[in-house]
Structure 1
Amino acid sequence: MNVAVLAESELGSEAQRERRKRILDATMAIASKGGYEAVQMRAVADRADVAVGTLYRYFPSKVHLLVSALGREFGRIDAKTDRSAMTGGTPFHRLNFMVQKLNRAMQRNPLLTEAMTRAYVFADASAASEVDQVEKLIDSMFARAMADGEPTEDQYHIARVISDVWLSNLLAWLTRRASATDVSKRLDLAVRLLIGDQDSK
């Protein structure tokens, strides 16, 4: 379907932003019940009460839908994080707090997480903007946790590695190749090996 797609930055009116929110809410509700395969464009349009053509103007595919939903979910987790809980301590403790918080949040609804993660992993170049937004957000969450302030370039590099390790372990959990306990231990080890557990901040 060849239509002009509206970027998020182009949503100038409140009605457009509300429509986008309804679409993402519908996507997440459907994915929560049936996983990746259940997310069909017509089903999303019906639940969001928009025309299919309108849906395609906002999101050209289910991959775009689900990756955008993942980005919004990370944004919500970040916004709800109690920064005072990460004040002080070592970079290890602060980063580990953030990693485990994200881990628990994503493990609450396996079907939704499977759908969003599957879309993220298999997204092609057409969804590069959405994927980039997700990567920058998770890297920022981890880097800011480490820094307890403004992150350095090295901390952003470490955050990118941790993000990759976190994603691979999330996939292992989703495919039942690792338990939640296994994932927690692996991530703890990865963080410890990368930044140590020094007493200094």
Structure 2
Amino acid sequence: MRTTHALADAAPSPPEGPSTGGDRPAPATPGARTRSQHQRRRRIVQAAAALASRGGVEAMQMRTVAERAGVALGTLYRYFPSKMDLVVAVVGEEIDLLESSMERRPPTAAHPAGRAVDVLMRATRGLMREPELADALIRSLIMAEVEAPFSDRMASLLLRVATDGREVDIPAEDQLALTGSLAGVWVQELLEMLRGRRTYEQSQHRIEITAERLLAGF
């Protein structure tokens, strides 16, 4: 999973509307405001990821994030009322990048379990290149006090990859439960790797076994 922190020092957003001459800019159009807001939000998320990659979640102090992103502290709180909201946004960005990676280079394994494992091990390799960020995200999500759609999004991604557009003779709710369980095992394996209790190869083996059992009916 490629992280976004390298882009955190992006240039400031352009003005929200074209100038009409003199010192008074014309009112921004709704579309321009939306683009500017999106760019500002993205800068904030990238700044938070950059800080977490160096010092974990403790480094994601709201004032420090605001300074790095080039926004006022009040602006940051309008976008993200708490640090946990910001953590959830960083996770969402990482999943967006993982999904894009799957679209560009879909898994080629012949079996559903193999394709699901491909997704999870790609994500593992990316996260383990940034262990501080990975640890911050995983630990924070486990203790999350706000809605964190991480598990649901990972379950949906694994389901799309595993079925590869085929009809599966399993109720839809059960399909998501199975891929969600696989995602849960993956998160636990990540924690074990981050704590030094498991090697990459050991975790991959355990994930492969779990995927074969859980996705046997796909």
Please report the TM-score for the alignment, with normalisation by the length of structure 2: 0.77
* Corresponding residue number in structure 1 for 2:61: 40
The answer to whether the 8 Å contact 1:144/1:151 transfers is: no
The answer to whether the 8 Å contact 2:115/2:161 transfers is: yes
Q: How does 1:53-72 map to 2 (within 5 A)?
A: 53-72=74-93
Change in Cα spacing, 1:169 to 1:87, as seen in structure 2 (3 Å) is: closer
Change in Cα spacing, 1:76 to 1:179, as seen in structure 2 (3 Å) is: same
Q: How does 1:37-186 map to 2 (within 5 A)?
A: 37-82=58-103, 85-87=106-108, 89-124=110-145, 127-128=146-147, 131-132=148-149, 134-149=150-165, 153=172, 154-186=174-206
> How many residues are paired up?
182
CA displacement 1:34-67 (0-9 Å, x = unmatched): 1111110010000001111111111112111112
The answer to whether the 8 Å contact 1:78/1:141 transfers is: yes
Q: Which runs of 5+ in 2 are unaligned?
A: 1-32
Change in Cα spacing, 1:119 to 1:151, as seen in structure 2 (3 Å) is: farther
Change in Cα spacing, 1:84 to 1:27, as seen in structure 2 (3 Å) is: closer
Aligned residues with identical type, % of pairs:
34
The answer to whether the 8 Å contact 1:86/1:148 transfers is: no
Give the distance between the partners of 1:99 and 1:137, measured in 2 at CA: 13
Q: For the pair shown, which has the larger CA radius of gyration, 1 or 2?
A: 2
**Superposition deviation, residue 177 in structure 1:** 2.0
Give the distance between the partners of 1:51 and 1:150, measured in 2 at CA: 49
Q: Which runs of 5+ in 1 are unaligned?
A: 1-11
Please report the TM-score for the alignment, with normalisation by the length of structure 1: 0.83
Change in Cα spacing, 1:102 to 1:73, as seen in structure 2 (3 Å) is: same
Give the distance between the partners of 1:79 and 1:150, measured in 2 at CA: 21
Task: Report which of the two has the higher share of helix.
Answer: 1
Give the distance between the partners of 1:114 and 1:86, measured in 2 at CA: 26
Task: Kindly provide the amino acid, as one letter, of the partner of residue 160 in structure 2.
Answer: R
* Corresponding residue number in structure 2 for 1:3: none
**RMSD between superposed Cα atoms in Å:** 2.0
The answer to whether the 8 Å contact 1:88/1:148 transfers is: no
